[in-house]
Amino acid sequence: MKLKRFILFVLIIVMSLNMISCNVKPEKATFKGGYPDLKGKHLVVYVASRDEVGRALLELFKDKTGCTYEYMRMSTQEAVARVRSEKKYAKADIFMGGSCDVHTLMKKEKLSEKYISQNYDSIQENYKDKQGYWIGFEVEPLAIAVNKDRWDSEYSHKGLKIPKTYADLLNPIYKEEIVMPDANTSGTAYTMIASIVQSLGEKKAEILLKGIKANVGQFTTNGYTPAQKVATGEYLIAINFLGDQLLVKNSGFNIVTNVPKNGGWNIDAISKIKNGPNGDIGKYFIDFCTSKEMEYMLKNISLGMSTRKDIKSNKGINFYELDIYDEYDFRKASDDREKLMKMWNSLK
């Protein structure tokens, strides 16, 4: 009887510790100027966000805390495949960016760990995991970009209007003139596929996607390259996230951007990789990226819309003014990945 009670007592203690560890605050650190003093500490990050976003946040984190870092920039699917292959012996602390359905997938496969950030309550409800496995730092929709110089010289006299919807892209005159990411490596393209299927239903979506795919001249490994290729005139039309297109446009390139009606959108999120090599340092980075100061900085660099309740949109993306498909379900997109990718890859 005593032995049974002892075993029960041990089980209760273990379960309690496990529950507490999910929400535990980062290990104690001294603070200097409002930031933790992390000199002598190190952080490893897999970045699927745009390079300038990842680099800016990490450099500022280093500057404010003294924490050194290393990061690898890769596409969404490359990053997830790497985290999955390193599950037993994680080599990175943080996965940052990429499409939100992948962060949901990481949670499902137990590749990430729960952490309720000190900024959790400041993030809008729709832009964070309810159990704390990921938290969003910006939101942006998919868009269609067109090279205006090429349009004016090659297409405007043909009586066509600049494409504003996915259906507009079915015109055979655009064959080999569209560039978009490869859904097998990029979360950007998968967001387009999943959102179209959810908004139209599988049968109508398959017809639309088949027509778009037939006109694509190149599939890029990552999500931001299409906007660059349209900016230089290599292709006429790009499909990717609006933030990528606005960055190119604000650099002086003559492109026109349109967010298609009922188009998909994404939450750029951060997950702490389970059993990362540097303990709680990743938690400090999550707090840093979702702080009010960093969110203000981000919206000027990436032009996405902040996920925080206390920051209004500026010259970048005002999400609430767009006619997007606001019922897009990241969890369903994650669950449907295998089926939808099989459908997409079979389209000829």
pLDDT in tens, the chain (348 residues): 444 443 443 333 334 334 434 455 565 555 556 799 999 999 999 999 888 889 999 999 999 999 999 999 998 999 999 999 999 999 999 999 988 999 999 999 999 999 999 999 999 999 999 999 999 998 989 999 999 999 999 999 999 999 999 999 999 999 999 999 999 999 999 999 999 999 999 999 999 999 999 999 999 999 999 999 999 999 999 999 998 999 899 899 999 999 998 889 999 999 999 999 999 999 999 999 999 999 888 877 777 788 998 887 655 566 667 788 888 998 899 999 999 999 999 998
Asked if residue 260 belongs to a domain, the reply is yes
Tell me what pLDDT residue 33 has: 61
In this structure, the answer to whether residues 99 and 198 fall within a common structural domain is: no
Tell me what pLDDT residue 264 has: 92
Give the count of domains, the chain: 2
Express the helix, strand and coil content of the chain in percent, nearest 5 each: 45, 20, 35
Tell me what pLDDT residue 299 has: 73
Asked if residue 1 belongs to a domain, the reply is no
Q: What angle, 0 to 180 degrees and rounded to 10, lies between the N-to-C axes of helices 202-214 and 337-346?
A: 50
CA distance 234 to 145: 13
Q: Specify the pairing of strand 42-47 against strand 265-273.
A: unpaired
Contact between residue 90 and residue 281 where contact means Cβ atoms under 8 Å apart: no
CA distance 36 to 215: 51
User: Residue 52's closest CA among 342, 251, 324?
Assistant: 251
In this structure, the answer to whether residues 160 and 245 fall within a common structural domain is: yes
**CATH number of the domain encompassing residue 78:** 3.40.190.10
CA distance 133 to 103: 8
pTM metric for this prediction:
0.83
CA distance 299 to 220: 25
CA distance 25 to 163: 49
User: Residue 267's closest CA among 69, 78, 134?
Assistant: 134
Q: What are the C-alpha distances in Å from 186 to residues 75, 130, 301?
A: 6, 25, 21
Range of the domain at 253: 140-265+335-346
Asked if residue 146 belongs to a domain, the reply is yes
In this structure, the answer to whether residues 342 and 276 fall within a common structural domain is: no
In this structure, the answer to whether residues 260 and 271 fall within a common structural domain is: no
Asked if residue 328 belongs to a domain, the reply is no
CA distance 99 to 232: 26
In this structure, the answer to whether residues 43 and 72 fall within a common structural domain is: yes
In this structure, the answer to whether residues 307 and 284 fall within a common structural domain is: yes
In this structure, the answer to whether residues 114 and 163 fall within a common structural domain is: no
For 77-142, the DSSP string reads: HHHHHHHHHTSSS---SEEE-S-HHHHHHHHHTT-EE----TTGGGB-GGGB-TTSS-EEEEEEEE
Asked if residue 67 belongs to a domain, the reply is yes
Rounded to a whole number of angstroms, the CA Rg of the chain reads 22
The number of residues making up the chain comes to 348
Asked if residue 327 belongs to a domain, the reply is no
Angle at 327 between CA 322 and CA 328, to 5 degrees: 90
In this structure, the answer to whether residues 107 and 193 fall within a common structural domain is: no
In this structure, the answer to whether residues 54 and 90 fall within a common structural domain is: yes
In this structure, the answer to whether residues 172 and 77 fall within a common structural domain is: no
Q: Per-residue b/e over 291-322, b at no fewer than 16 CB within 10 Å?
A: beebbeebbebbbbbbbbeeeebeebbebeeb
Tell me what pLDDT residue 208 has: 97
Asked if residue 56 belongs to a domain, the reply is yes
User: CA torsion 285→118→130→300, rounded to 10°?
Assistant: -60
Asked if residue 274 belongs to a domain, the reply is yes
Contact between residue 237 and residue 145 where contact means Cβ atoms under 8 Å apart: yes
In this structure, the answer to whether residues 232 and 172 fall within a common structural domain is: yes
In this structure, the answer to whether residues 221 and 278 fall within a common structural domain is: no
